A and B are shown apart, each in its own frame.
Chain A
Amino acid sequence: MDFINAIVLLLNYIFVPALSYGSQLALGAIFVSLIYGILRFAYFTAGDLMSFGTMFTILFTWYFQSLGISLGVLPTALLAIPFGIMITILYVLVKDKLVFSYYRFKKSPPVMLAMVSIGTMFVTQAIVRIIIGPFDRRFFDGEKFILKANEFKEMTGLNEGLTIKSTQVITLFVTIIVVSILFWFLNKTKTGKSMRAYSDNEDLALLSGIDPKRVVMITWIIAAILATIGGTLYGLDKSFKPFTYFNNMLPIFAAAIVGGIGNPFGAFLGGYVIAFSEILVTYAYRKFFIYLLPESIEPDSLLQLLSTDYKFAVSFSILVVVLLFRPSGIFKGKII
């Protein structure tokens, strides 16, 4: 019984939260990785693009709520996501036309484009803050829990409860759907293949008649879709605050690089690597060992490797280690 308790404890505090956080990071990392692979620069607006998409989703959610439309047990935001996506797509395409296309045409070095993306980062951040303000917003409605700790305890007769929030399940569900569609698109369709070809070897792709404009446009559209979905899922699960989203850029980059930048599948896994390591390293294992070990050698200390304050630091340390020992990422992305 103690053993099962210990497992449930880990499930509740590590596995479930890390899985949903990892999915949110993974969605971000995939589009950062895609942009890196196809447009060839580090897209520093990543976090803020996510907050931009989320903001419009929230605005539409509020609008629907005011109209009295809801999805019952599911959050209304799910209904609003497509509208948020549309505005975000429009925004990235306009941004590309006004800002990025010029540098692409001039064949500027990637560093230049990264700098330009810092400019757009400032602008995006300003737009988000001007429209919705810098404050914490919660826009979740519908059923909050799928499984409450108490119900679980009653059901199984265990000491430890298992809580599963509906947002966590939704996150996982949506991520699986979106990512499978994306990989099907990249691997099976003609457009997807042309994108991968363009990413592998630009000159060769151009020679074989791939239209670069189309590839770039589709990349941006995918980025907008992933950013909005990832951002909204994060906002549903936790809460929406522009500053947090900006900060999320850092673990997202870490995930993309750990997975091998330019390699979307690696980035997808990288998101989970980062999320799990963040939570595994900062979790206090005391209770876990109390269940497992006999009473005589029960631990006194918290058995926490690092305090939770260092959550971010963990993922960055992993990144540094990966960069040192395997600069192309765990799953072989572009060689740096």
Chain B
Amino acid sequence: MSTIAETSPRGQARRRIRFDGWRWGGRIFLVFMLLYTALPMVWMLLTSIKSGFAAMQFPPQWWPDQPTLASYQKLLDPQNSVGQDFLRFFWNSLFVSTATTILSVIVAVPAAYAFSRFTFPGRNFLFFTVLLRNMFPAVIFLVPLFILMRAIGLVNTHGSLVLTYLTFGLPLAIWLLKGFYDNIPVQLEQAARIDGATRFQAFILIVMPLSTPGIIATAIYSFIGAWNEYIYAYTFLSKNEQLTLPVGIQRFFSENTTDFPGLMAASFIMSVPVVVLFLVLQRYFVRALTEGAVKH
């Protein structure tokens, strides 16, 4: 980062004459991408503050004549039935995602450390087996997992979701963290061991703190994945009070197909936690990718 900051002013002055075309091309492209990315989200927000009647007009009201927060009030009001359902879905999602995140970190950290440091037989084979999990679509595992979950009594529980989500997040988590541990000098641990620390103490006291950005990135990735997951939740859960947000919203709006302001408000509320989480912690994520997955 610092090198970019140092070199760019000089570079700009010299390049301005020769490469204007590239820079303008880049700027125009970025404006186009900004519109492509942001306009749908802006339209979601504008629709969510219209009344149901105002949303169903042609030509549309580009800016709502009478902005109203009625949709949000309806969804977040614990007094009426819609609000009760929605808030319950929200808490279910929060519980499942948090549990998945904590377990992912607990499982991925030692595994990634072992793949990075130790040279036990079968290491590469096991590492690639873990990565191969990413190759297979959720649908392939649906039927057998459904039967498996029924056999161990987890159908219609949040435990079935946590267990399955764990396996989605693990491969990338282990891969990211392994790259991180690869970049931490072994000498640091060796020094600690000479000073009398056990291997475990060296791991906890030296390696863990240095890999915090990687762990944060792993946690974000697991949380977002679990929060947004749809197929398993759609298949494994049938009781209304257990649904997570994506399925709950879908089920709710297949009954009220024309309530687009409500749908947009629900989509917005569903997006807020993950977007905020990501924006606050995104520098860790990009850094983890740079140091963990890409830099070699």
Decide whether A and B are members of one complex: no
